[in-house]
Chain A
Amino acid sequence: GENVEQHPSTLSVQEGDSAVIKCTYSDSASNYFPWYKQELGKRPQLIIDIRSNVGEKKDQRIAVTLNKTAKHFSLHITETQPEDSAVYFCAACHSGNTPLVFGKGTRLSVIA
């Protein structure tokens, strides 16, 4: 089955700097890669996703890149703000066939 590794487990950045979180997956059949943000005491919420037919997707200050050959994908947050502080989870699956498999999460702290 699918296995998703996520790094780093914790990340601290200064406000205004960029943050990058990286994930690798094991199943070459996986074709859907979402990212979830979980604020303290709240539920995970989808912030961005990418499918295997594209290499990059952007939504304002966040972007996700996918390298199918290397089987890794990354979340990029630019101009970080204190409200970006949260735990971020990557996930992977073969859309339509298999459940999502989550990484262990990255705790991002943005220091004002």
Chain B
Amino acid sequence: EAQVTQNPRYLITVTGKKLTVTCSQNMNHEYMSWYRQDPGLGLRQIYYSMNVEVTDKGDVPEGYKVSRKEKRNFPLILESPSPNQTSLYFCASSPRSPSGVLKNIQYFGAGTRLSVL
């Protein structure tokens, strides 16, 4: 089954304790992205990756890191989480057309609800 898989789905942690949220897709998509969703603020992009070893900052990258060593995986790393990073996080991926154009249709993971105390 084609899917984007995030783990964990729920996480409670404490300020300053490094954590990683994993994201994996089995659709061979080039483009992957991380969003955070907060009430009244919609979906805000944290980082995105157009392909392996290519990552770019989104609108709210502060306090986050990502890596794209393999096509299928795009982990989100919080080196020193703070309470303002309490949020619902979504990973998404998109394919490219045979001609190489990004198709922009985003397939979302199920989400990770993070609480930082």
A residues lining the B interface (CB < 8 Å): 6, 9, 32, 34, 36, 42-46, 49, 89, 93, 95-97, 99-105
Question: Does A43 lie within 8 Å of B108, measured CB to CB?
Answer: yes
The one of A34, A96, A102 in contact with B102, judged by C-beta atoms closer than 8 angstroms, is A96
| Total CB contacts across the A-B interface at under 8 A | 51
Contacts of B74 in A (CB 8 A): none
Q: Which residues of B contact A101 (CB under 8 A)?
A: 45
Complex-state Cα separation, A105 to B41, whole angstroms:
8
Chain B interface residue count, Cβ-Cβ cutoff 8 angstroms: 21
Instruction: Give the distance in Å from the alpha carbon of A96 to the alpha carbon of B102 in the complex.
Output: 4
Query: Known contacts A36-B106, A89-B42, A103-B42; can you find 17 more A-B pairs with CB under 8 A?
Result: A6-B42, A9-B40, A32-B104, A34-B104, A34-B105, A43-B110, A44-B90, A45-B108, A46-B106, A95-B104, A96-B102, A96-B104, A99-B33, A99-B48, A100-B45, A102-B42, A104-B40
Instruction: Among B33, B43, B101, B108, find the residue whose CB has the most chain A CB atoms closer than 10 A.
Output: B43
Closest B-chain residue to A46, C-beta based? B105
B111 at the interface (CB under 8 A from A): yes
- Chain B window 86-117, contacts with chain A (Cβ cutoff 8 Å), 1 for yes, 0 for no: 00001000000000011111101111000000
Is B61 part of the contact surface with A, judged by Cβ < 8 Å?
no
A-B contact pairs, 10 of them (CB 8 A): A34-B105, A44-B106, A93-B104, A95-B101, A95-B102, A99-B48, A100-B45, A102-B45, A104-B40, A105-B43
With both chains docked as a complex, state the minimum distance between the C-beta of A35 and any C-beta of chain B, in angstroms: 12
